[in-house]
């Protein structure tokens, strides 16, 4: 009973927060309308926002902005479920269902905002590069350290299964796929492979097929690529290059939707997350 009250409370506060965010996005939109076309040379020059190409440099962008999107993002689905169930949605079906219901709430709010302002509101499954570490710090200050909830440097990306959880490839895809249809502003599901992936084309084809069959909107297979800066050898390099013994290694990883030039350029929260990621089998 206590749990069902907590779930109800969570959904109510989620709704309240999403409405606040929706209104804030609208306020920002009103302000941005007053910007001038020349402030967005790429967007206007390429007519990315419909009608933008026809504006003169000193015209206000105005209604051209209407074809942009207003995203309501979220992180830490896993952490929130852990707070309620002592387990994430990768382990508990009840937690999975609760997280799904939370996403339904966010979509309801996005729908209401759309109807109210006739703008493209959407729910966004975000990795929140900056917030991922900032929110945990703020929450520790406010609530103290809660094991499993905010005791790491980062919150888990959107609806993703905990990066530390040993979950089978097929299960990860099956559990995350239904959330893609509920996050139309953007989403991704990763499978982490070890460095031997490129030798096993069949396994990769199988994973892609599984993603397609489960209606994953955007799927990604991550595997590490290290490059020796001295002799340009590529592969998985542990301490030093197997060819020339150099220790000057560029470590390419995919942490969020795009490839990073080098791991060293990421903030500490995201680097900590990368360190914790388990490989999937
Ligand atoms: Zn080398």
CB-CB contact of 162 with 172 (8 Å): no
Measure the CA–CA gap between 247 and 240, rounded to whole angstroms: 5
Query: What's the pLDDT at 33?
Result: 95
Full set of structural domains in the chain with CATH: 2-32+68-276 (3.20.70.20)
Report the interhelical angle of 201-213 vs 169-180 (nearest 10°).
Answer: 40
Neighbours of ion ligand 1 (CB under 5 A): 228, 230-231, 233, 241, 243-244, 246
Question: Ligand 1: distance of its center to the CA of 264 in Å?
Answer: 19
Question: Beta 225-228 vs 234-235: how paired, if at all?
Answer: antiparallel
Query: What's the pLDDT at 165?
Result: 93
Question: Ligand 1: distance of its center to the CA of 245 in Å?
Answer: 6
Question: Ligand 1: distance of its center to the CA of 238 in Å?
Answer: 12
Nearest alpha-carbon partner for 179 in 161, 206, 162: 161
What pLDDT tens digit does each residue of the chain (281 aa) get?
788 999 999 999 999 999 999 999 999 999 999 999 999 999 898 998 889 999 999 999 999 999 999 999 999 999 999 999 999 999 999 999 999 999 999 999 999 999 999 999 999 998 777 787 889 999 999 999 999 999 999 999 999 999 999 999 999 999 999 999 999 999 999 998 876 677 788 889 999 999 999 999 999 988 877 889 999 998 888 889 999 999 998 887 665 555 555 666 667 777 777 778 888 88
Report pLDDT digits (tens) over 212-266. Answer: 999 999 999 888 778 899 999 988 888 899 999 999 988 876 655 555 556 666 6
Question: Ligand 1: distance of its center to the CA of 265 in Å?
Answer: 21
Question: Ligand 1: distance of its center to the CA of 225 in Å?
Answer: 14
Which helix or strand (DSSP H or E) is residue 44 part of? Answer: helix 41-45
Question: Ligand 1: distance of its center to the CA of 199 in Å?
Answer: 21
């Amino acid at each position: 009973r206590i749990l069902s009250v907590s779930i109800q409370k969570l959904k109510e506060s989620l709704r309240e927060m999403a409405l606040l965010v929706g209104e804030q996005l609208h306020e920002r939109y009103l302000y941005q309308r007053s910007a001038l076309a020349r402030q967005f040379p790429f967007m206007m020059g390429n007519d990315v926002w419909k009608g933008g190409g026809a504006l003169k440099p000193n015209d206000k962008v105005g209604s051209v902005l209407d074809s942009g999107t207003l995203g309501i993002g979220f992180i830490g689905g896993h952490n929130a479920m852990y707070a309620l169930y002592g387990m994430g949605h990768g382990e508990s079906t009840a937690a999975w269902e609760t997280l799904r219901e939370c996403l339904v709430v966010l979509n309801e709010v996005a729908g209401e905002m759309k109807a109210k302002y006739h703008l493209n509101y959407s729910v966004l499954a975000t990795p929140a590069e900056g917030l991922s570490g900032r929110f945990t710090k703020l929450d520790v200050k406010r609530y103290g350290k809660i094991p499993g909830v905010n005791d790491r440097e980062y919150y888990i990306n959107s609806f993703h299964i905990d990066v530390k959880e040993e979950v089978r490839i097929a299960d990860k895809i099956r559990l995350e796929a239904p959330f893609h249809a509920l996050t139309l502003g953007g989403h991704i599901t990763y499978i982490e492979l070890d460095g031997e992936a490129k030798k096993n084309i069949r396994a990769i084809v199988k994973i892609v097929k599984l993603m397609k069959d489960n209606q994953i909107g955007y799927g990604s297979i991550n595997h590490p690529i290290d490059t020796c800066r001295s002799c340009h050898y590529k592969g998985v390099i542990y301490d030093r290059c197997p060819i020339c013994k150099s220790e000057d290694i560029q470590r390419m990883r995919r942490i969020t939707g795009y490839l990073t030039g080098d791991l060293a350029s990421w903030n500490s929260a995201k680097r900590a997350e990368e360190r914790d990621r388990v490989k999937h089998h």
